Amino acid sequence: MSIRLGDIAPDFEQDSSEGRIRFHEWLGDQWGILFSHPADFTPVCTTELGFTAKLKDEFAKRNVKAIALSVDPVESHVKWIGDINETQNTAVNFPILADADRKVSELYDLIHPNANDTLTVRSLFVIDPNKKVRLTITYPASTGRNFNEILRVIDSLQLTDSHKVATPANWQDGDEVVIVPSLKDEDEIKQRFPKGYRAVKPYLRLTPQPNK
Ligand code: BEZ
């Protein structure tokens, strides 16, 4: 099944390097990042999971839990975690789903047969506390993902969920933001954005980033 933005992230129960996981229950009321990698004991995947482990504090600040997935069994994940910790100078601090029966891979459309018949692609889903899918990406096996970009998108989602703003190209936390085009009432704009705004065009109005 392909997953689209706004869909409820499918729930499942599966084994992992940290025991059996009931996904929605495991997420609780936090944000989640579910990401698949092609296989254990492969170089790019080793760097991706190592980097993700190093983002622990950044995830905690944003109330985010991470969970990885491949079709390798639990014993493989556990051995590989030793390699990740050793080579990436970190300690893996999130579960890796052992989707040997491909239950989750099928639910989330993670095997793309025209790319590879048996291995999962590098997909990633950001899931909000209402269990809605808010970001999907899929990268080829040969390209490691930029997890700082995932943090940037989560910053944007969390900001734009609570203010009538959107974030422009290459925005970073603290930069100017865009007032949403649907907000036209000048009194409401003044009340929501007391620091003012500048209109580059009537539809492109920039304002200092509101407090989160
Ligand atoms: C890797 O993680 O290095 C990798 C995995 C599958 C294909 C190519 C590279």
What average pLDDT score do residues 151-162 get?
A: 98
Is 0.95 exceeded by the ipTM?
A: no
Mind telling me the catalytic residues? 45
Report which protein residue has its CA nearest ligand 1's atom 7: 141
Q: Is residue 128 a contact partner of residue 157, using CB atoms and an 8 Å limit? A: yes
List, edge to edge, every strand of the sheet that includes 198-201. 165-166, 177-179, 204-207, 198-201
Q: How far is the CA of 142 from the centre of ligand 1 (A)?
A: 6
Cα 205 to Cα 46: distance, rounded to the nearest angstrom: 43
Which residue is it, tokens 């899918």?
133
Is pTM beyond 0.80? Reply is yes
For ligand 1, whether the C-beta of 44 sits within 6 Å is yes
- Cβ-in-10-Å burial (0-12, 13-18, 19+) of 155 comes to buried
- Nearest-angstrom CA–CA distance, 121 and 36: 7
Atom of ligand 1 nearest to the CA of 45: 2
Using an 8 Å Cβ cutoff, are 111 and 120 in contact?
yes
Q: What's the start-to-end Cα distance of the chain, in Å?
A: 35
Question: Ligand 1 centre from 71 Cα, in Å?
Answer: 14
pLDDT value for 117: 93
Atom of ligand 1 nearest to the CA of 119: 6
Secondary structure of residue 16 in the 3-state scheme: strand
- pLDDT by residue (tens digit) across 67-102? 999 999 999 999 999 999 999 999 999 999 999 999
Tokens found for residue 30 = 């936090």
Q: Which atom of ligand 1 is nearest to the CA of 47?
A: 2
